[in-house]
Amino acid sequence: MKSQGSLLFGGVNRNFSHKCTICKEKKYLRHRMQGLIYYISLPFIYLLSLLPFPILYRVCDGFYFVLYYVIGYRKKVAMQNLRNSFPEKSEAEIKRLCKDFYHYLCDLFPESFKTLTISRSSMLKHCTLSPAAKEIFDRYHREGKSIILVMGHYGNWEWAGNTFSLLCKHQLFVVYHPLANTYFNGLMIRMRTRFGTGLIAMRETYKDMVRHKAMVSATAFIADQTPPPETAFWTNFLNQDTPVFQGTEKIAKKMGYPIVYITIKRLKRGYYNILAEVLSEDSKNTADGKITELHTARLEKDIREQPEIWLWTHKRWKHKRPAENK
């Protein structure tokens, strides 16, 4: 005769097994749904990538109307971010900036999808590298030095990666956050690596950089995402108390790589130019926090010069500084 304990644990095990089965079924269904969405979307994405630029931008204008006037995607977030960042501007100026930003946003993603089919010559026509920036990169390559590139979600960073890989001698690696949808993540990987760029998953950054240490490389960090408030470096950014990732600085110090700040200016619709500025030649011996302060201040300067081409829909200021960091 079975004891009460064995009956109890048998019931628990059956219940646990049932829950595991349900979880597996949900995961399977979610994966199937992701695949369905992907395969329905894929022809339209490739169609966008094949459109001539004048027609593509007519489509983008339609996207803008739907996103801004019909859906109103994160419009309240964008407006509040703009008001807090530019308290000196009138409400009419803020609204104009917000509209300009949504026009840019609705150009950005179709432009990025163009990478799937765009020719090398067309890519270099639409996203250029300034001679001064090219000389900085060439100098480091001649010296056999790997470098770290730091930038924000500003301009068209996807095109900038393509142009760098096409024109520069360093092997470019871009630190990225994998998408939850594995199908779309695979598409993004194909798109980003088409011209020779390598990718490093964010959680593997330091390990992969050590593995590539024998190679003369450039590793790009987009450093304006929102970190956990407890581990962040806190500073004033666009008139607000702001947490900043310290990973770029910490890894630069460990690796001993120079840090180069990247600006991607929008010259006109569909045309960008990449600029570069050396922030630190000797990152190992730079005071703690200095590199993070420098690249954050440099990004703010860019945003103030061309505010409409930064991601204002991002909830950049959702965290408050912890009491112990005040």
Question: When comparing pLDDT for 32 and 289, which is higher?
Answer: 289
Joined tokens for residue 16: 């646990």
Among residues 143, 210, 145, 153, the alpha carbon closest in space to that of 176 is found at: 153
Question: Which pLDDT score is estimated for 149?
Answer: 98
How distant, in Å, are the alpha carbons of 85, 226, 232, 321 from that of 244? 16, 7, 5, 11
CA gap 191, 195 in Å, rounded = 9
pLDDT over 60 at 32, yes or no: yes
Question: For residue 33, with 0-12 CB atoms within 10 Å meaning exposed, 13-18 middle and 19 or more buried, which class applies?
Answer: exposed
Question: Which pLDDT score is estimated for 248?
Answer: 94
Question: Which pLDDT score is estimated for 14?
Answer: 57
Over residues 28-52, the mean pLDDT reads: 91
Question: Which pLDDT score is estimated for 9?
Answer: 46
Reported as a single tens digit per residue, the pLDDT across 207-237 is 999 999 999 999 999 999 889 999 899 999 9
Band of pLDDT at residue 77, cut at 50, 70 and 90: very high
Reported as a single tens digit per residue, the pLDDT across 127-141 is 999 999 999 999 999
In the chain, the percentage of residues whose pLDDT exceeds 90 is: 86
- In this structure, the strands spanning 233-237 and 240-244 are antiparallel
Instruction: For 70-98, give one letter per residue: b (16+ CB within 10 A) or e.
Output: eeeebbebbbebbeebbeeeeeeebeebb
How distant, in Å, are the alpha carbons of 120, 163, 285 from that of 245? 34, 26, 19
Question: Which pLDDT score is estimated for 225?
Answer: 85
